[in-house]
A and B are shown apart, each in its own frame.
Chain A
Amino acid sequence: MESDIDDHSPLTVAVPQSLSSDDVESLLTGENIWNRSDPIPFEHVIGNSPEDLSNSARFSCCLLPSDPGREWLGSLIRLNSDNFIECFDGMDLGDLCPIIGSDPKSKHHLLVCLSTRSAYHLPVARKFVTALRHRGLIKEATAPAVEMAVQEAFANSLIHGNLALTTSGRLSMDRFNELGDETKKRLASTTYGDRAIVLTAKKRKNGHIVISINDQGAGFTPREETDETTMPGQESTFGRGLPLIKSLCHSVTFARGGRTIKLTFDQIESDVLSADPAFIREFEAQGSIDAALRTPQNATILIADDTMLSREIIASYLRSDGFTNLVFAKDGEDALSQAKAHNPDLIILDIIMPKLDGYEVCKALRADPLFAETPIIAQTALEENEGRTRIFDDGATDLILKPLNKAELIARTKIHLENRLLVKQLRAYRERTQSELDLARDMQENLNPAPEQYRGTGFDYGMRISATFQMSSELGGDMWGLVPIDAQRLGVYIVDFAGHGLGAALNTFRLHSLIWSDQIRDPDPGAYLSNLNRHLKGLLPIGQYATMLYGIIDRNKTTFSYASAACTSPLLGDSTTGAARYLDGSGVPLGVIRDARYETREVPFDQNSFLLLYSDALIETTLDDGQFLSEEKLLSMVHETVMESGSDVDLAAQIADQFMDRAPVQLSDDFTVVSLQSTNGADGFTARDEPQ
């Protein structure tokens, strides 16, 4: 599936714990997925849920358990892999193999393979599109259209293809009910339910994104379109999504006898730089190479003009002012090859030239990332406005009129070279700062416990602990942690420093050392925060403050006692009913007044309880409906998640996944969600030995 197969290096495969090693073995070594006869060596990394698997590791493939649920579907965003394949009984990919398969030409940027049975109940289109957004393959602005088209195409392939249900004609309530019953039957059957559906996405060089949806049904012949722009009104809209799909895509094509539908999306490249990571890498590599700072006089200047006399005049003007690194081109094609050979700092370009004219040269240069920012001064005798506008449209930086005026030519040359130099210096500076910031980011992320740590700690206290932390584009001020006090009591804290950037990050480090120093040992949360505040107030400049919650879960007394310094209101709920309520999070922020007092509040926390702590990014980020996540919506989101899976779920991860579906990729503030959920009551697979 990727070139890494061909060099026989072992594949790293993420494997859910629930899969038997025999199944994994036979899936990976057989010819089922990769239709290769020679076995591919592979290594497993096993996780009980996606949260256990490192999100910094690169996986060649991520296997999903049979009936993966929302939890494993979330791995599309959480894990660094391009391939997600459900491992289910009765899986027979047949001619879907080549799509996943080893043909390097079919290399895709994202692939998801699911059984019909699982796919039917999951928001696959939504998650697929979120994953494309997070991989930078589609822009935020195009995402809604892509999601609508993928949803329709996916539903068609699933319902008409794999489930072979017919929904044409006018739909009555009786017919609808029959259809529902038939759907249930077919999902349960091996004939239909075991069929696979494969979604792939691939970005073309021209920026188009191609999404294919492949099923194992009987195929479909696109009907002769008579009216493809209007949606049916009175008729049933089931399975009539094709006109809608067509209206949302650049083009739609079919393959494999109608069992593959390919949707091509044309992305308007309004922001070229953020479009393609490979492009940015190339671009930045270039920037650092000639960041070796040159003075304007050392600059290489390319003079492209078809008459020798003109070239000589320009050269003599420039030489007289100290510019000696001059390169010449005698026509348009020559200009391009000279540019490539010498990578000039500035180009003086004639418009009327043989072979390629100046307009074409300009366009060609600008299309190449190497020359995206090279100043181009176009020289022309054209007086008319049209030509002048056109050359700017094609990418010229400036225009100079023939016959040339020496002083003007030199002035313009200098200005553009100096601009370029400044930009380069700035970029070099920014890169240096950036690498230092990256280091700081890593350090800051390490202030938070790693999954294997908090999983283990949670287990010791009979709790399932889940956490999701995402830093904003800059450094931020969020932090959380666990403080084991004794066998029965576990402390937990969550902190958010005001603002973000370097200042907030440094303060986070300060606070972290305070928390983990031995200076503050108060067993009571209120007294603890009061003491912490006194220490912090001495360290923080005026105007900097933090919000924090510190609490202790006591398994013996079955309580959660906590104190809050203006933290977001924690959610306390019950795993058996899914009901939750907000606790009081009020209190003076840390670092504001020296003698702030914090009240210790106590609530029951038993074997059915769960606790959700979060930073304000969860409730203060504008979601796709233009609104924040309201208190009621968060409550119902928690309720639904708990009702669906009880305590056998990574609650914080689930909440974060649903949030990510609807939030922009780049968050403007740090995002932290932590859940602590008792496992004693609901299914009791841990902490049986806990003394009561």
Chain B
Amino acid sequence: MNYNTEQTDKTTTVELTGRFTFGDHSNFRKLIEEMRAHQSETHVLDVTGIEFIDSAGLGMLLLARDEGEKARATVILRGAQGQVKRMLEVARFDTLFKLED
């Protein structure tokens, strides 16, 4: 998994790309640290470019949400497609995140 962060005003948008699976510990850790530093009110995790996610990847999304909540920020998941969309549905992530197309 790779990512790009962009900060505008009070929103941090993170574009994630590639496969997001159990081996992505260190990238994800860096990502969380960057998000913390931004102190935005809204975190948008744009997963349009994620082509495959496993349950560990879902777990990391949950962590991102926890981190957001700690900083009193809203966390939005944007653009899930294909396999990612199906995984989010199976795990009922609609009840945990704000989902956007």
Residues of A that sit less than 8 Å from B by CB = 120-121, 123, 126, 144, 147-148, 151-152, 155, 158-159, 171-173, 176-177, 179-180, 183, 230-234, 236-241, 244, 247, 624-626, 636, 640, 662
B83 touches A237 (CB 8 A): no
B83 touches A144 (CB 8 A): yes
B19 touches A159 (CB 8 A): no
Q: What would be 10 A-B contacts, judged by CB atoms less than 8 Å apart? A: A151-B54, A155-B56, A159-B22, A176-B63, A180-B26, A231-B91, A237-B58, A238-B22, A238-B56, A626-B82
A233 touches B83 (CB 8 A): no
Q: Does B41 contact A (CB under 8 A)?
A: no
Checking A171, A180, A244, A636 against B29 with a beta-carbon cut-off of 8 angstroms, the contacting residue is A180
B21 touches A151 (CB 8 A): yes
For residue A147, which residue of chain B has the nearest CB? Answer: B52
Q: Does B81 contact A (CB under 8 A)?
A: yes
Q: Does B8 contact A (CB under 8 A)?
A: no
Once bound together, how far apart are the Cα atoms of A277 and B97, in whole Å?
47
B 68-101 to A, binary, CB cutoff 8 A, 1 in contact else 0: 0000000000000111000100111101100000
Q: A171-B59, A173-B66 are in contact. Are A624 and B51 (CB under 8 A)?
A: yes
Chain A residues with Cβ under 8 A from B87's Cβ? Answer: 148
B63 touches A121 (CB 8 A): no
Interface of chain B: mostly helix, strand, loop or mixed: helix
Once bound together, how far apart are the Cα atoms of A158 and B21, in whole Å?
13
Checking A155, A247, A625 against B21 with a beta-carbon cut-off of 8 angstroms, the contacting residue is A155
For residue B17, which residue of chain A has the nearest CB? Answer: A636
For residue B26, which residue of chain A has the nearest CB? Answer: A180
B29 touches A177 (CB 8 A): yes
Size range of the interface on B?
20 to 34
B62 touches A231 (CB 8 A): no
Closest Cβ of chain B to A217, distance in Å, is 15
Closest CB pairs A-B (n = 7): A180-B25, A237-B59, A231-B91, A237-B55, A241-B55, A237-B58, A155-B22
Closest Cβ of chain B to A663, distance in Å, is 13
Q: A144-B83, A171-B63, A177-B29 are in contact. Are A152 and B55 (CB under 8 A)?
A: yes
B26 touches A123 (CB 8 A): no
A238 touches B66 (CB 8 A): no
Chain B residues with Cβ under 8 A from A183's Cβ? Answer: 25
Known: A173-B32, A241-B55. 12 other contacts (CB 8 A): A155-B22, A172-B63, A172-B66, A173-B66, A180-B29, A183-B25, A231-B90, A237-B58, A237-B59, A238-B56, A626-B82, A640-B2
Chain A residues with Cβ under 8 A from B93's Cβ? Answer: 233
B55 touches A230 (CB 8 A): no
B54 touches A236 (CB 8 A): no
A625 touches B51 (CB 8 A): yes
B62 touches A120 (CB 8 A): no
Once bound together, how far apart are the Cα atoms of A189 and B89, in whole Å?
38
Chain A residues with Cβ under 8 A from B2's Cβ? Answer: 640
Closest Cβ of chain A to B22, distance in Å, is 5
Chain B residues with Cβ under 8 A from A233's Cβ? Answer: 91-93, 95-96
Checking A232, A241, A625 against B81 with a beta-carbon cut-off of 8 angstroms, the contacting residue is A625
Chain B residues with Cβ under 8 A from A177's Cβ? Answer: 29
For residue B90, which residue of chain A has the nearest CB? Answer: A231
The B19-67 residues at the A interface (CB cut-off 8 A) are 19, 21-23, 25-26, 29, 32, 51-52, 54-56, 58-60, 62-63, 66-67
Once bound together, how far apart are the Cα atoms of A238 and B23, in whole Å?
12
B82 touches A625 (CB 8 A): yes
Chain A residues with Cβ under 8 A from B52's Cβ? Answer: 126, 147, 151
Interface core residue of A172, A234, A237, A238 (most chain B CB under 10 Å): A237
For residue A177, which residue of chain B has the nearest CB? Answer: B29
Chain A residues with Cβ under 8 A from B63's Cβ? Answer: 171-173, 176
A241 touches B25 (CB 8 A): no
For residue A119, which residue of chain B has the nearest CB? Answer: B23
Closest Cβ of chain B to A188, distance in Å, is 14
A152 touches B54 (CB 8 A): yes
A236 touches B67 (CB 8 A): no
Closest Cβ of chain B to A145, distance in Å, is 9
Closest Cβ of chain A to B75, distance in Å, is 14
Checking B19, B29, B82, B90 against A123 with a beta-carbon cut-off of 8 angstroms, the contacting residue is B19
For residue B60, which residue of chain A has the nearest CB? Answer: A176
Once bound together, how far apart are the Cα atoms of A236 and B93, in whole Å?
13
Once bound together, how far apart are the Cα atoms of A624 and B86, in whole Å?
14
Chain B residues with Cβ under 8 A from A232's Cβ? Answer: 91
Once bound together, how far apart are the Cα atoms of A624 and B83, in whole Å?
10
Once bound together, how far apart are the Cα atoms of A230 and B56, in whole Å?
16
Closest Cβ of chain A to B2, distance in Å, is 8
Closest Cβ of chain A to B67, distance in Å, is 6
B62 touches A171 (CB 8 A): yes
Once bound together, how far apart are the Cα atoms of A230 and B55, in whole Å?
13
Q: A155-B56, A241-B54 are in contact. Are A179 and B22 (CB under 8 A)?
A: no
Closest Cβ of chain A to B3, distance in Å, is 12
For residue A230, which residue of chain B has the nearest CB? Answer: B92
B83 touches A148 (CB 8 A): yes
Checking B29, B51, B67, B91 against A237 with a beta-carbon cut-off of 8 angstroms, the contacting residue is B91
Closest Cβ of chain A to B5, distance in Å, is 16
Chain A residues with Cβ under 8 A from B32's Cβ? Answer: 173
A231 touches B82 (CB 8 A): no
Chain A residues with Cβ under 8 A from B59's Cβ? Answer: 171, 236-238
Closest Cβ of chain A to B11, distance in Å, is 22
Interface core residue of B58, B67, B93 (most chain A CB under 10 Å): B58
B90 touches A247 (CB 8 A): yes
A121 touches B56 (CB 8 A): no
Closest Cβ of chain B to A470, distance in Å, is 22
Chain A residues with Cβ under 8 A from B22's Cβ? Answer: 155, 158-159, 238
Chain A residues with Cβ under 8 A from B51's Cβ? Answer: 624-625, 662
Checking A126, A237, A247 against B62 with a beta-carbon cut-off of 8 angstroms, the contacting residue is A237
A173 touches B67 (CB 8 A): yes
Once bound together, how far apart are the Cα atoms of A236 and B62, in whole Å?
8
Once bound together, how far apart are the Cα atoms of A252 and B27, in whole Å?
33
For residue A229, which residue of chain B has the nearest CB? Answer: B90
Chain B residues with Cβ under 8 A from A158's Cβ? Answer: 22
B92 touches A237 (CB 8 A): no
A231 touches B92 (CB 8 A): yes
For residue A242, which residue of chain B has the nearest CB? Answer: B55
Chain B residues with Cβ under 8 A from A640's Cβ? Answer: 2
Interface core residue of A230, A233, A662 (most chain B CB under 10 Å): A233
Closest Cβ of chain B to A645, distance in Å, is 16
Once bound together, how far apart are the Cα atoms of A179 and B2, in whole Å?
20
Chain B residues with Cβ under 8 A from A172's Cβ? Answer: 63, 66
A179 touches B25 (CB 8 A): yes
Closest Cβ of chain B to A22, distance in Å, is 32
